[in-house]
Copies of this chain bind each other. A is one copy, B any other.
């Protein structure tokens, strides 16, 4: 089986390296900046590089690792090159917009959206790791029209690659959950370091500062696309969070010890239960 990785940045590079390390699939690699693909070939992260016209027709599975807005146009531009019945997938952080758009086209290959749930504060091929996904979840989001055996095949590849767990869900549920588990954390981290006190944190900070501020090192271009593409679920999460913060504020302003304690006890109980 041939797996083509298009886009050899942090995620694409790590997928290629994990495939080479953990499976015997043949890994084809393509990257817009050719020197990156050449480096990946030299390092053994991929088995073959070349032009899209040569690589795409050979691929049983194509994984597209681009920013959200570029994914559908790329697939449509090359739609006549994909092997019949092959699987085309992606790795970006929102799924509804892409999967529901791809559903509209009658194609002789199968698009299944996917999201390997791992990242780093640093991007690019040079920061990619063969173990980036070792403790990570692989989420894929088939639609009602995706054949079951195609979904199973993609899940099987993810398991062989070394993902700790795989999740199959709808694009909509993925986007709702990711608004909570990932997007709002990035919104928060940026909002947090924008405090006028942030530049003076040294000597006054320990683990809490480090943890909350970590993902403020953000790729602004990519996350702008992700946030706007997931507008409704994300705004709902921001509203919920702000409303909870305001509850804390009112209880503190009113020195309402009982209500404040109850709020924290509830948070503590939830965290203890859900991990």
Q: Which A positions have Cβ atoms within 8 angstroms of B? A: 117-119, 136-137, 139, 165, 167, 174, 176-182, 184-209, 211-218, 220-221, 223-224, 227-228, 231, 234-235, 237-242, 244-249, 252-253, 255, 257, 260-268, 270-275
Contact = CB atoms under 8 A, between A and B. Distances in A.
Contact of A182 (B139, B180, B209, B253): B209
B216 A201 contact: no
Given A190-B248, A265-B220, A178 B204 contact: yes
Nearest to A187: B248
B216 A267 contact: yes
A238 B245 contact: yes
Given A137-B203, A203-B139, A260 B194 contact: no
B271 A193 contact: yes
Nearest to A204: B177
B212 A185 contact: yes
A242 B242 contact: yes
Contacts of A272: 217
A257 B201 CA distance: 30
B252 A216 contact: no
A264 B249 CA distance: 26
A240 B167 CA distance: 37
A191 B241 contact: yes
Contacts of A200: 177
A199 B270 CA distance: 8
B209 A185 contact: yes
Nearest to A241: B191
Nearest to A225: B257
A269 to B, nearest CB: 9
B268 A218 contact: yes
A147 B39 CA distance: 63
Q: Which of A181, A193, A265 has the most CB of B within 10 A?
A: A181
Contacts of A205: 117, 137, 181-182
Contact of A260 (B197, B227, B257, B261): B227
Q: Which of A179, A192, A198 has the most CB of B within 10 A?
A: A192
B242 A228 contact: no
A224 B187 CA distance: 26
Contacts of A260: 224, 227-228
A264 B224 contact: yes
Nearest to A274: B199
A208 B190 contact: no
